[in-house]
Structure 1
Amino acid sequence: MQTRVRRLGGLAAGVLCLALASAGCGKSAPARFYTLTATAGSEQNPGDVAVARPAGVECTVLGIGPVELPAYLDRTQIVTQGGTTSMHLAEFDQWIEPVHDNFQRILMENLSGMLRAGPLVSHPWPVGMHPERQVAIQVRRFDGELGQQAVLRAEWGVFDADGRMLLWRQTALREPVNGPDYPALVAAQSRLVTVFAAEIAQSLERGR
Structure 2
Amino acid sequence: MTVRFPLALMLVSLLGLTGCMHSPPVPMFQLDPGTPEVPSEKAGMQVLLGPVTVADYLQRETLLQRQPDGSLTAASDGRWAGSLAADIDQLLLRQLSWRLDSQRLVLAPGNPGFTPEVQVLVTISRLDSGPQRPAVLEAQWRLLDRAGKLRDSRLVRLEEPHAGTAADQVRAQSALLQQLAGQLADAVKPLEGQQPVAETPRKPAQPAAAAKPKAPPQPKIPMAAPVRTDVEVFRF
Please classify the TM superposition score into its range, dividing by the shorter chain length.
0.7 to 0.9
Indicate yes or no: 2:140 matched with 1:155.
yes
Q: 1:10 to 1:66 in 2, by over 3 A?
A: same
Residue 140 (str. 1) matches residue 125 (str. 2):
yes
Distance 1:40 1:148 in 2: 26
- Say whether the 8 Å CA contact 1:29–1:92 is kept in structure 2: no
Q: How far, CA to CA, are the matches of 1:91 and 1:182 in structure 2?
A: 10
Check 1:59–1:18 CA distance in 2 against 1; reply closer, same or farther (3 A cut): closer
Distance in 2 (alpha carbons) for counterparts of 1:27 and 1:34:
22
1:203 to 156, 173, 187: 187
Q: Which structure's relative contact order is higher, taking Cα pairs within 8 Å and 6+ residues apart?
A: 1
Name the SS for the 2:99 alignment partner. coil
2:182 is equivalent to residue 187 of structure 1: no
Larger radius of gyration: 2
How far residue 72 of structure 1 moved from its aligned partner, in angstroms, is 0.5
Once the two structures are superposed, what CA deviation does each residue of 1:30-64 show, in whole Å capped at 9, x if it has no partner?
1321111222569xxxxxxxxxxxxxxx9430111
Q: Aligned partners of 1:116 and 1:16: how far apart in 2? A: 62
Is 1:74 aligned to 2:59, yes or no? yes
For the aligned residue pairs, the C-alpha RMSD in angstroms reads 2.5
**1:183: how far off?**
1.2
Distance (Å, rounded) in 2 between the aligned partners of 1:190 and 1:79: 15
Give percent identity, aligned residues only: 27
**Deviation by residue 1:91-118 (Cα, 9 ceiling, x = unmatched):** 4522222111100111111111211445
Task: Spell out, residue by residue over 1:3-32, the C-alpha distance to the aligned partner (whole angstroms, 9 max, x if none).
Answer: xxxx9x93322233334445x257643132
Q: CA offset at residue 150 of structure 1?
A: 0.8
- Does residue 19 of structure 2 align to residue 35 of structure 1? no
Pairs aligned (count): 184
Q: Does the CA-based 8 Å contact 1:77-1:91 persist in structure 2?
A: no
- Taking the aligned partners of 1:20 and 1:40, their CA distance within structure 2 comes to 45
Q: Which residue of 2 aligns with 1:12?
A: 8
Partner of 1:54: none
The whole-number CA distance in structure 2 between the counterparts of 1:191 and 1:204 is 20
Distance 1:19 1:78, change over 3 A: closer
